[in-house]
Amino acid sequence: MLTIPLYDDNPTLRTPVVTIALIAACVLVFLWQLGLDARAEVAIAYSLGLVPAVFFGAADLPPELELVPPWTTLVTSMFLHGGLAHIGGNMLFLWIFGNNVEDTLGRARFILFYFLCGIAAALAQAISNPSSEIPMVGASGAIAGVLAAYLILHPYANVRVFVWFFIFVRLINVPAIVLIGLWFVMQVLGGLATPASTTGGVAFWAHVGGFLAGLALIMVLRPRGTRFWQPAHSRAFAVEPPAALRDRARFRSGSVPEAGQRRPRGW
């Protein structure tokens, strides 16, 4: 069965400048990675990715790979990705959920929120296996924090999901509390089922760490008067045929067109 989230039913007040910039930066870095040969690509992963053993001082990189201090890889690793599916999934989730979180926090707070979640995620994964010499890359830890904030702000918002199961092809409205809740449970179970000595694969504890950081940070960084648990703008579990995708305006914006009035927030 193929399931792909497409957009949510949640209107925004302003253009998500930071979200767009983060996506553009990740895509540009990925295109740069694609232009590298196999040897250089591996070298960049070790140089700019987070290597737990190097970060904690238990190992050293060869001098030619020491491009930046180990502590800076908490940030540089967030802009590298391991393949098309990796960056595609991350950027899709950032586009769907990031615009509403940015709209609530404002641009400056959202930048701080995003990077703090990413750093917390990287640290969580590194602590889970501090002797690992495998580089960790990707923005999924920071995006996990975005998912957590969205869950607190808009648990009843519906995400339009494309479902393809043999001859069954439909668009289904799935509440964020269901979609994100199941995703988080899968990360916890995946982390518990994966031995700490495993090399490579999905950084489950980075996802868990980023998510928990997001839950805490949205409470600290939210502007005064922020409403939590906001209502949905469409009917949960509504089912439509694929022809509904012809409403291209919603797909381009990442959500339905603007509706209602909300108090503007500053940078």
Pick left, alpha or beta for residue 166 (phi over 0 → left; psi -120 to 50 → alpha; otherwise beta). Answer: left
Q: Determine the pLDDT at residue 206.
A: 96
Q: How confident is the model at residue 247 (pLDDT cuts 50, 70, 90)?
A: low
Q: How confident is the model at residue 196 (pLDDT cuts 50, 70, 90)?
A: low
CA nearest neighbour of 136 among 65, 227, 68, 203: 203
Q: How confident is the model at residue 28 (pLDDT cuts 50, 70, 90)?
A: very high
Q: Determine the pLDDT at residue 215.
A: 98
Residue 58 scores a pLDDT above 70? yes
Percent of residues, the chain, with pLDDT higher than 70:
90
Residue 262 scores a pLDDT above 90? no
Q: Determine the pLDDT at residue 145.
A: 98
Distance CA 164, CA 207 (A): 26
CB burial of 181-197 (b: ≥16 within 10 Å; e: otherwise) equals eeebeebeebbeebeee
Q: How confident is the model at residue 236 (pLDDT cuts 50, 70, 90)?
A: very high
Residue 230 scores a pLDDT above 60? yes
Q: Determine the pLDDT at residue 201.
A: 75
CATH code of 2-253, in short, is 1.20.1540.10
Burial class of residue 252, CB neighbours in 10 A (0-12, 13-18, 19+): exposed
Q: Determine the pLDDT at residue 261.
A: 37
Q: Determine the pLDDT at residue 264.
A: 30
- Determine the longest span between alpha carbons in the chain, in angstroms: 58
